[in-house]
């Protein structure tokens, strides 16, 4: 969806997304809502050097004691729980799916965070929040679903001065990589018809109104290939660690990497 998308386009996307998310929620109703101790520990205090993209996003989040954090596109609340564990005084989750929000509320309650977390049904394009009401916006794989111009304006609006926005997003800059990817028939079962990988140029435009931006690249093509081909988890972890070393020593390869973790400051 491009920046010129009109309100009708947005409403069409949202209605399709609500329907898709309802199906996702139905499939997840029987899952164990408690996050494992291993997972909770993994994302509580990850190091700066981690080669894992989500760990790095949580490194950037850091200690948020005394702060209000928006889980932008909270889904079923996994990240809301982890944000609360990072010490947030208040976690606000926004998602367009009533069914996923209901699961998220149960998950937060199960982990003992019902008092300092609030999940709301709402549009990422029109956040039901006051101006400059949150300290941090935390959005994991949400922007590539959205109209970027509208989302940027809303994120900027609700952030306090000096606040931060942290995003993890799929990217595909290389025309060659896009060509090769289109030859591979694999597609995740939960892909929305409106989502698409972003480019660095689109993320830079999104960040135009912010005062400072930094980003880090993850996952050059061999990592994705190993994951798609179903190699054992130990092989995938080895590939991810190698990926981190390659991108550290040869940062020019970031143009071929398929994920960005970006931090923006208002």
In a domain, 165, yes or no: yes
pLDDT at position 11, please?
83
* pTM attached to this predicted model: 0.90
Contacts of 230 (CB under 8 A, 6+ apart): none
Contacts of 170 (CB under 8 A, 6+ apart): 141, 144, 197, 198, 258, 259
* Tens digits of residue pLDDT in 174-219: 766 665 556 555 555 455 556 688 999 999 999 999 999 999 999 9
C-alpha to C-alpha distance for 4 and 103, rounded to whole angstroms = 34
In a domain, 1, yes or no: no
Domain total of the chain: 1
Averaged confidence pLDDT in the chain: 90
- The three-state secondary structure class of 193 is coil
* Tens digits of residue pLDDT in 136-157: 999 999 999 999 999 999 999 9
Say if CB 136 and CB 64 are below 8 A apart.
Answer: yes
CATH, residue 126: 3.40.50.150
- Asked which of 7-11, 13-17, 201-205 is least confident by mean pLDDT, the reply is 7-11
Torsion of CA 123, 128, 129, 135, to 10 degrees: -30
Half-sphere exposure (CA, 13 Å, Cβ side) for 42?
14
In a domain, 161, yes or no: yes
Is the pLDDT assigned to residue 13 strictly greater than 50? Answer: yes
Say if CB 87 and CB 65 are below 8 A apart.
Answer: yes
Structural domain harbouring 154: 7-265
In a domain, 227, yes or no: yes
Torsion of CA 86, 76, 128, 207, to 10 degrees: 60
Average pLDDT over residues 11-24: 83
Q: Among 29-43, 114-128, 173-187, which range has the highest average pLDDT? A: 114-128
* Tens digits of residue pLDDT in 50-62: 999 999 999 999 9
Q: How far is CA 109 from the centre of its chain?
A: 22
Q: Which residues pair with residue 168 across a beta bridge?
A: 140, 261
Is the pLDDT assigned to residue 171 strictly greater than 70? Answer: yes
Which band of pLDDT confidence, cut at 50, 70 and 90, is reported for residue 20? confident
In a domain, 207, yes or no: yes
In a domain, 232, yes or no: yes
C-alpha to C-alpha distance for 106 and 118, rounded to whole angstroms = 11
CA-closest candidate to residue 15, choices 125, 162, 102, 114? 125
In a domain, 2, yes or no: no
């Amino acid at each position: 969806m491009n920046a010129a998308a009109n309100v009708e386009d947005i409403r069409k996307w949202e209605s399709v997304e609500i329907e898709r998310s309802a199906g996702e929620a139905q499939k997840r109703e029987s899952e164990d809502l408690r996050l494992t101790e291993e997972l909770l520990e993994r994302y509580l205090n990850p190091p700066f050097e981690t080669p894992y993209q989500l760990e790095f996003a949580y490194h950037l989040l850091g200690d948020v004691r005394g702060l209000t954090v928006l889980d932008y596109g909270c889904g079923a609340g996994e990240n809301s729980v982890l944000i609360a564990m990072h010490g947030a005084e208040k976690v606000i989750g926004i998602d367009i799916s009533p069914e996923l929000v209901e699961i998220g509320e149960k998950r937060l309650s199960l982990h003992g965070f019902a008092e300092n977390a609030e999940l709301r049904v709402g549009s990422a394009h029109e956040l039901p929040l006051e101006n400059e009401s949150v300290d941090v916006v935390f959005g994991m794989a949400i922007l590539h679903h959205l109209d970027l111009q509208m989302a940027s304006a809303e994120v900027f609006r609700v952030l306090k001065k000096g606040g931060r926005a942290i995003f993890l997003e799929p990217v595909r800059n290389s025309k060659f990589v896009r060509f090769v990817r289109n030859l591979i028939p694999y597609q995740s079962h939960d892909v929305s018809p409106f989502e698409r990988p972003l480019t660095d140029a689109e993320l830079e435009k999104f960040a135009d109104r912010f005062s400072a931006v930094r980003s880090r690249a993850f996952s050059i093509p061999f990592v994705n290939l190993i994951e798609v081909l179903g190699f054992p988890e130990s092989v995938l972890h080895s590939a991810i660690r190698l990926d981190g070393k390659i991108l550290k020593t040869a940062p020019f390869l970031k143009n071929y990497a398929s994920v960005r973790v970006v931090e923006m400051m208002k």
